[in-house]
């Protein structure tokens, strides 16, 4: 077993003449929180999309859990939870109802996984509030609950505190820390907020 959950070597993504990511080499150890920090447009989201197989690199190598990503997506990607862009939740359903749909589509067993994910992010399981009535902070929490619902080993979260108020930022940081410290998750998080 590799000591690195994520390894990239000279990872590059080019769009026409412009390089979004240039020769990025990273090594992410198991059970840690790592941050990709940079201004908007610095290539953080593109890097995360390449790590998830959502876009192909122009050059370079990606290894996840010690194996090349290319050709092993079916075995590797189910072990990852991610939040890259806002998931398409149904506005006329509750958070729990939305998660039930995703759980069914992904083959995640039982209501316990949903309840555990909601508990983790501080959202009530039996809440009757519709998604359309959620605050931005509640929407972010539900998106993170979706990412952790299947108990992944690795979480890749793109700007999970974007648009949150200071209390929401502190709460999200606290449960991300608890995922790592109490549940042993490896977390790669991006942000343009340096504080």
pLDDT in tens, 107-129: 888 779 999 999 988 898 888 99
Round to whole Å and give the CA distance between 30 and 170: 24
Residue 9, classified by CB atoms within 10 Å of its CB into exposed (0-12), middle (13-18) or buried (19+), is middle
Question: Are the beta carbons of 150 and 106 closer than 8 angstroms?
Answer: yes
pLDDT in tens, 28-84: 999 999 999 988 888 999 999 999 999 999 999 999 999 999 999 999 999 999 999
Can you give the pLDDT at residue 41?
84
Question: Are the beta carbons of 82 and 54 closer than 8 angstroms?
Answer: no
For 4-191, the fitting CATH number among 3.90.1720.10, 3.40.50.10490, 3.40.50.300, 2.40.50.100 is: 3.40.50.300
3-state SS of 115-153?
HHHHHHHCCCCCCCCEHHHCCHHHHHHHHHHHHHCCCCC
Give the percent of the chain with pLDDT over 70. 98
Round to whole Å and give the CA distance between 160 and 175: 12
Residue found under tokens 């075995």: 75
Q: Decide the pairing of beta strands 186-191 and 154-158.
A: parallel
Q: What is the pTM of this model?
A: 0.91
């Amino acid at each position: 077993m590799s000591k690195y959950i994520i390894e990239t070597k000279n990872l590059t993504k080019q769009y026409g003449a412009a390089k979004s990511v240039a020769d990025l080499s990273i090594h992410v150890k198991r059970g840690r929180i790592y941050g990709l920090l940079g201004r908007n447009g610095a290539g953080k989201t593109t890097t995360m999309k390449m790590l998830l197989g959502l876009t192909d690199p122009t050059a370079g190598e990606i290894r996840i859990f010690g194996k090349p990503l290319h050709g092993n997506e079916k075995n590797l990607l189910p072990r990852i939870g991610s939040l890259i862009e806002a998931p398409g939740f149904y506005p006329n359903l509750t958070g729990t109802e939305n998660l039930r749909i995703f759980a069914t589509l992904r083959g995640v067993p039982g209501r316990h996984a949903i309840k555990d994910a909601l508990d983790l992010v501080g959202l009530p399981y039996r809440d009757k509030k519709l998604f359309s009535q959620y605050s931005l902070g509640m929407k972010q929490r539900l998106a993170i609950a979706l990412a952790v619902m299947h108990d992944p080993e690795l979480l890749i979260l793109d700007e999970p505190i974007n648009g949150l108020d200071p209390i929401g930022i502190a709460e999200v940081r606290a449960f991300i820390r608890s995922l790592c410290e109490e549940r042993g998750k490896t977390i790669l998080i991006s942000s343009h907020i340096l504080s």
